[in-house]
Amino acid sequence: MSRIVVGPFNRVEGDLEVSLELEGGRIQAAHVNSPLFRGFEQILVGRAPLDALAIVPRICGICSVAQSAAAATALADAMGVTPTPNGLLARHLIQATENMADHLTHFYLFFMPDFARPDYVDRSWHAATAERFTAIKGSAAAEVLPARASFLRLMGFLAGRWPHTLAIQPGGSTRAITAGERIRLLALLREFRSFLERRLFGDALERIGQLASKAELLAWADGRAGDFPAFLKIAGDLGLERIGRADDRFLSHGAYGLFPAGTWQQGKTVAFAPALITEDTERAWLLADQPRHPAAGETIVAADKADAYTWCKAPRYAGRAHEVGALARQVVAGNPLLLDLVQRDGGSVMARVVARLQELARLIPAMEGWVQALQPGDSFCAQGVLPDEGSGVGLVEAARGSLGHWLTIRRGRIERYQIIAPTTWNFSPRDASNQEGPLEKALLGLAAGEGAPPTIQHVVRSFDPCMVCTVH
């Protein structure tokens, strides 16, 4: 038995380290460490409740809008206010813009460059992949960055700027869209659609959205030009549909009114009950007692704790670790393609990437519909009054999965603020009963160490981790 420490992991948001115990070059045990602590839950305590809208986006530069939306939802819950129809559409659009930009960034800049590594030089697809996806220098980056920047111009209209907007408010949005701007938004969406259809998919978005099984997907991709078909070819060659399986227990808070909330395991979707969430701090450098529901959670540093190995808490649903993200969202929503992939081979590197890209193909048409549904002239923001005493919950979906904020207000100030971020679920450490987190499970049995292919890099990045959120 030997032990190695792997890190830093490039091209993940924030800092990540993984300790591996190896036997015969295979991983017997993995410990996932988030080596950075940020303490945002303490920053929020004692502030005016609406200050959360300015503070929480700064938890994360890549999902700042998701953090805003969770805070606004929690505040709206405490205020008893409902966003206006325009406000709700604007929020869907702002959230979807961030989430879809994240899916694009993940695929092109974070995930695919690993296949351009010299480790794969003997593969038939390597030369083309290196030309297209080499980090910074590949031909894809030169096209993707302008496409991404242009797509994020939606934020210039809808949210003032990205990242770190204050546009999302409990009652909707501060930014009413005019009739003329509606046309600009549609033009920007068409421009992005055109990029996706030409370069990423090589087909109409609607066609990608309809693919309903693994067999259909592979038949569609066979011989087709496009970056997604190119990935599927690599995935087939490297067997990525059999790599990176965790426990196949999935959880989603539900998103955009399109994808319902729920949990899924062993072929069954079950309604989601937020009361069943707990956080365990046994193996984090935090004070531990009983696992607590986040509405009663604490984050108290215990930097010298023995047996701890990360700053990340261990969230559990009904006592079990759950995977979150685009795959979880789609499986819970009953998406036939992703259900087929998961029921054949379990959650995998390939399934996670397919889930993200199919979600991209399905969301852009939905966004076009939301823009068309905007009613310029009608209110974008309902007004409400904050109670001096109260509590609220904000459950949303970031690109990389379920994000929850739990807020308590006492004497007009924030008394408690607890956050569970998507990567806190996925990169959770062990808990008091020694149950591993999803990534810790997904790495078991893989080759690692001297001379091994970069498989663990693919598995880690298939979750699209965001470590800065994890350690909020």
Partner 1 sequence: MKVLWLQSGGCGGCTQSLLCSEPRSLFDELRDAGIEFVWHPALSEASGGEALAVLEACTSGELAFDVLCVEGAMLRGPNGSGRFHLMAGNGRPLTEWVTRLAGHAKWVFAIGSCTAYGGFSANTPGNPLEACGLQYDEQTPGGLLGADFRSAGGLPVVNIAGCPTHPGWIVESLQKLALEGMADTDLDELGRPLFYAGELVHHGCPRNEYYEFKASAEKQSDLGCLMENLGCKGTQAHADCNLRAWNGSGSCLRGGFACIACTEPGFESPGHAFQETPKVAGIPIGLPSDMPKAWFVALAALSKSATPKRVRDNAVVDHLVLRPAIKKKGGGK
Q: Pick from 95, 165, 263, 299: which binds partner 1 (CB under 8 A)? A: 165
Subset of residues 283 to 322 that bind partner 1, contact rule: CB under 8 A: 301, 303
d(CA 184, CA 10): 36
Q: Does 167 bind partner 1 (CB under 8 A)?
A: yes
Subset of residues 442 to 471 that bind partner 1, contact rule: CB under 8 A: 457, 468
Which residue number, 109 or 331, has a Cβ lying nearer to partner 1? 109
d(CA 87, CA 83): 5
The phi-psi region of residue 266 (left if phi > 0; otherwise alpha if psi is between -120 and 50; otherwise beta) is: left
- Shortest spacing between CB 63 and partner 1, in angstroms: 9
Subset of residues 124 to 143 that bind partner 1, contact rule: CB under 8 A: 134-137, 141-143
- Shortest spacing between CB 124 and partner 1, in angstroms: 21
**End-to-end CA separation in angstroms for the chain:** 34
Q: Pick from 2, 124, 150, 372: which binds partner 1 (CB under 8 A)? A: 150
Which residue number, 167 or 261, has a Cβ lying nearer to partner 1? 167
d(CA 20, CA 448): 8
d(CA 471, CA 84): 33
- Shortest spacing between CB 215 and partner 1, in angstroms: 34
d(CA 72, CA 470): 20
Cβ count near 118 (within 10 Å): 8
- Shortest spacing between CB 5 and partner 1, in angstroms: 6
Subset of residues 333 to 352 that bind partner 1, contact rule: CB under 8 A: none
Binding region for partner 1 (CB under 8 A) out of 52-60, 317-325, 387-395, 439-447:
52-60
Side chain identity, residue 139: S
Give backbone dihedrals phi and psi of 246, rounded to 5 degrees, phi first.
Answer: -100, -125
Q: Pick from 26, 61, 224, 260: which binds partner 1 (CB under 8 A)? A: 61
Q: Report which of 421, 319, 393, 381 is spatially closest to residue 78, judged by C-alpha positions.
A: 393
**CB of 107 within 8 A of CB of 353?**
yes
Q: Report which of 471, 467, 469 is spatially closest to residue 13, judged by C-alpha positions.
A: 467
- Shortest spacing between CB 49 and partner 1, in angstroms: 9
Q: Report which of 50, 29, 88 is spatially closest to residue 379, judged by C-alpha positions.
A: 88
Binding region for partner 1 (CB under 8 A) out of 151-159, 268-276, 387-395, 436-444:
151-159
- Shortest spacing between CB 97 and partner 1, in angstroms: 10
**CB of 181 within 8 A of CB of 93?**
no
Residues 6+ apart with CB under 8 A from 221: 228, 229, 232, 233
Subset of residues 100 to 119 that bind partner 1, contact rule: CB under 8 A: 105, 109-110, 113-114, 116-117
Q: Does 80 bind partner 1 (CB under 8 A)?
A: no
Q: What is the CA radius of gyration of the chain?
A: 22
Q: Report which of 159, 208, 210 is spatially closest to residue 336, judged by C-alpha positions.
A: 210
Q: Does 183 bind partner 1 (CB under 8 A)?
A: no
Subset of residues 366 to 395 that bind partner 1, contact rule: CB under 8 A: 376-377, 379-381, 383
Tell me 162's DSSP state: S
Site size toward partner 1, by CB under 8 A: 89
- Shortest spacing between CB 190 and partner 1, in angstroms: 15
- Shortest spacing between CB 137 and partner 1, in angstroms: 7
Q: Pick from 29, 50, 258, 393: which binds partner 1 (CB under 8 A)? A: 50
Q: Pick from 10, 343, 372, 433: which binds partner 1 (CB under 8 A)? A: 10
Q: In this structure, what token pair is assigned to residue 428?
A: 């959770």
Q: In this structure, what token pair is assigned to residue 352?
A: 């996670």
Q: Pick from 65, 91, 163, 315: which binds partner 1 (CB under 8 A)? A: 163
d(CA 103, CA 282): 33
d(CA 375, CA 89): 10
Q: Which helix (H) or strand (E) holds 330?
A: helix 326-332
- Shortest spacing between CB 91 and partner 1, in angstroms: 13
Report the alpha-carbon angle 309-312-318, nearest 5.
110
Q: Pick from 111, 120, 157, 228: which binds partner 1 (CB under 8 A)? A: 157
d(CA 155, CA 145): 16
Binding region for partner 1 (CB under 8 A) out of 21-29, 156-164, 321-329, 421-429:
156-164
- Shortest spacing between CB 42 and partner 1, in angstroms: 5
Subset of residues 20 to 39 that bind partner 1, contact rule: CB under 8 A: 33, 35-39
Q: Pick from 173, 281, 310, 455: which binds partner 1 (CB under 8 A)? A: 173
Which residue number, 17 or 436, has a Cβ lying nearer to partner 1? 17
Q: In this structure, what token pair is assigned to residue 404?
A: 């929850």
Binding region for partner 1 (CB under 8 A) out of 166-174, 195-203, 324-332, 401-409:
166-174
- Shortest spacing between CB 189 and partner 1, in angstroms: 14
- Shortest spacing between CB 7 and partner 1, in angstroms: 3
